[in-house]
Amino acid sequence: MLSIILSGHGGFASGLEKAMKQILGEQPQIIAIDFPESSTTALLKSQFEQAIAQLDESDGLVFLTDLLGGTPFRVASTLALQKPGREVITGINLQLLLEMVLERDGLSCNEFRLMALECGHRGLTSLADEMGRERATAVAAEGI
Q: What is the pLDDT of residues 52-100, one digit of tens each?
A: 999 999 999 999 999 999 999 999 999 999 999 999 999 999 999 999 9
Half-sphere exposure of 77 (CA within 13 A, CB side): 12
Q: How many CB atoms lie within 10 A of CB 135?
A: 10
How many folded domains does the chain comprise?
A: 1
Give the CATH number of the domain where residue 129 resides: 3.40.50.510
**DSSP label at residue 29:** T
pLDDT band at 141 (very low <50, low <70, confident <90, very high): low
Whether pLDDT at 48 is above 90: yes
Number of residues written out for the chain: 144
What residue numbers bound the domain in which 37 lies?
3-142
Residue 91 · residue 121 · CB < 8 Å: no
Residue 106 · residue 47 · CB < 8 Å: no
pTM: 0.87
pLDDT of residue 140: 58
pLDDT band at 119 (very low <50, low <70, confident <90, very high): confident
| Cβ within 8 Å of residue 56, ≥6 positions away | 1, 3, 29
Q: CA 131 to CA 117: how far, in whole Å? A: 24
Q: In what order do the strands lie in the sheet with 61-65?
A: 30-35, 3-9, 61-65, 86-90
pLDDT band at 123 (very low <50, low <70, confident <90, very high): confident
